[in-house]
Structures are given as structure tokens and as C-alpha cells.
Amino acid sequence: MSFDRCMDDFLTATRSLFNGYFREANPVARFDRALTRHEFYSEVETSLFRALVILPCELMEIPYGEENQQILIRPNGEFDLPVMLNRDLDSGYWDYPLERMPRDARIHFQEFFDWDLVGRKDNRYVRAVVAAAPHNPEIVGKHCLIETHYVTFALDEVDEPQGPSIAPAPGRV
């Protein structure tokens, strides 16, 4: 199975699982309950990432939601990636003036992202970190959002770990 397929399976599974079983029917009216359900979902999402991506691809254990230097984001065509970049490093403002990421940039996966935490989950964006940008060195370290349909996922062959390194789940031997 290709690595891109592992990531697609994870995206599909998490979207279906949240929307079908964890999403509060009326999250605006029952916001506290919707947040609690999302917290439970986040635990399952982390386990799914381990089971569908980390384990089958024999990656080093990096928690879901943290920058994963083993997983590269690449355009799925011959174009520069349309992106939203943080104004400051890891801030909540996505208005940095660069709107297209040159193909030679090195981008690491962090997580899938939707603007609405408790509403219907689409996994519309990939949240990632710019690791290198030869044409725009000032953006290195910034977080970016890229629409999922523009990307493909690849393993970083330079830093690829040797053999499985997944640890057993807490409380298991």
C-alpha cells in the first residue's frame, strides 16, 4: 500500500468516525457537551493515526498534531501550492502575504484541520510547518494551511527510520 493511501485512509476514517459517532447533533446549543465529545474523539484520532499510519509505514512515534518531519507535503500536480500562512510563527492569524508556496519548499505534516472544531468534519485542510523555503527563507518555521485536495503525502527518505519503532499503547505489554 502506498503512503499516500495510508494518509487517505486515515483522513477518511477520522472524518467518518467524527461525523457519524462523535459530533453533537446541535453543537451550538450544547457547546460544552460538543467540546467534551471532541476531547473523546481526539483520543481515538490519535490511536487511529498510530494504527493506520505510524505502524503500517514503520514510522517513528510522533504524536498526531505535532510536526512530523517524516511526512512531507507535496503538490499533487505541476503547480505551486496555494497556501494560507501564519502571520507570526504558530499564531492564529493566517494572513501572511505569500499565497503560493513554491514547489521547492519543504513542508512537514502536522494534522488535518477544519475551522469549526465541533461542527461537521471535512478535513478540508492540511496543517503543516514550512521546514525549508529557498525562495522565501523568512517563512521557515511558519505554520500553513493547504487545502487537502491540492496535496499528496510522501515519506522523507533522507531521515527515514530503520524498522518499526512504535511503542505499545500505555498499559499494554
Flag whether pLDDT at 21 surpasses 80: yes
What confidence tens digit (pLDDT) does each residue in 26-48 have?
999 999 999 999 999 999 999 99
Q: Which residues of 30-50 are buried (b: 16+ CB within 10 A; e: fewer)?
A: eeeebeebbeebeeebeebbb
Residue 170 within a domain: no
Give the range of the structural domain holding residue 107, as residue numbers without chain letter: 3-155
Q: Report whether pLDDT(171) > 60.
A: no
Q: Is residue 48 part of a domain?
A: yes
Torsion angles phi and psi, residue 156, rounded to 5 = -80, 110
Residue 134 lies in a domain: yes
Q: Judge whether 64 lies within some domain.
A: yes
Taking the C-alpha atoms of residue 24 and residue 30, their distance in angstroms, rounded to an integer, is 8
User: Into how many domains does the chain fold?
Assistant: 1
Task: Establish if 167 belongs to a structural domain.
Answer: no
In a domain, 164, yes or no: no
pTM score of the predicted model: 0.87
In a domain, 160, yes or no: no
Query: Within 10 A of 67 (CB to CB), how many other CB atoms are there?
Result: 17
pLDDT tens, position by position, 110-150: 999 999 999 999 999 999 999 999 999 999 999 999 999 99
Q: Which helix (H) or strand (E) holds 72?
A: strand 68-75
Q: Looking at residue 160, what is its pLDDT?
A: 42
Q: Is residue 99 part of a domain?
A: yes
Instruction: Name which of 102, 99, 76, 88 is nearest 145 in CA terms.
Output: 99
Provide the residue type at 128 as one letter.
A
Contact yes or no for 144/131 (Cβ under 8 A): no
